Homo-oligomer: A and B are copies of this chain.
């Protein structure tokens, strides 16, 4: 009974995700779904990323959080249009669903955008299960989270095209082997692009920004 209904919820989500994908394709907007554990540094990565790619790439952000507008307030300072979704209005949801993205997208002038970044709810499990109509998914993993997360949360790494290993500035202070992490990522997804970055110092940002620019340009 439970499984059947969950199946139905996912089917409805799939239908709306397809509509989103069609709408974004018509407007030639590249949509990136960014996911991570709480506190992995998604918002700081986005702040620094937007500072580099705007205004050439006309960007907007949908920010998902259970509560607060903290992240939207930070991202609005970049000059990008931002829509904050608080999932506590939807029962404290642990992920963003396709219908939430459809509603949030109404807040933008879609004709004036090349890129829409969705900063999902901080959660390494549930968001990976929900298609929101994106073109690509990226996961941010902080090096403070340990080497084994890719094999413990394989679905997240399986559905992503890019993985950012963030907070590399802390590496000298950790008992942590970044090679093992990358091996673990490749074990669950050998096609993923891995970027070692520090959102604080912007170390390693070049290859990540190149990847993002290329993906936006490739959008037909």
On A, residues with C-beta under 8 Å from B are: 1-3, 5-6, 9, 37-39, 65-68, 70, 91-92, 94, 121-126, 129, 142, 144-146, 148-149, 151-155, 167, 169-170, 173-175, 200
Contacts of A175 in B (CB 8 A): 200
B67 touching A154, Cβ below 8 Å: yes
What distance in Å separates the Cβ of A6 from its nearest Cβ neighbour in chain B? 8
A122 CA to B155 CA, complexed, in Å: 14
A39 to B149, CA, bound (A): 7
Q: State the CA gap A167–B155 with chains docked (Å).
A: 27
Contact A68 B148 (CB under 8 A): yes
Given contacts A70-B152, A124-B122, A3 and B91 within 8 Å (CB-CB) = yes
Given A5-B2, A66-B152, A67-B151: A122 and B173 interface contact (C-beta under 8 Å)? no
- Tell me the number of copies of this protein: 2
15 further interface pairs, Cβ-Cβ under 8 Å (given A66-B153, A92-B155, A142-B144): A1-B5, A2-B5, A37-B38, A37-B145, A38-B152, A39-B144, A39-B145, A39-B149, A66-B154, A66-B155, A67-B154, A94-B94, A94-B125, A123-B123, A170-B174
- Closest B residue to A12 by beta carbon equals B2
A86 to chain B, nearest CB (A): 10
Inter-chain CA distance A29–B174, complex, in Å, is 36
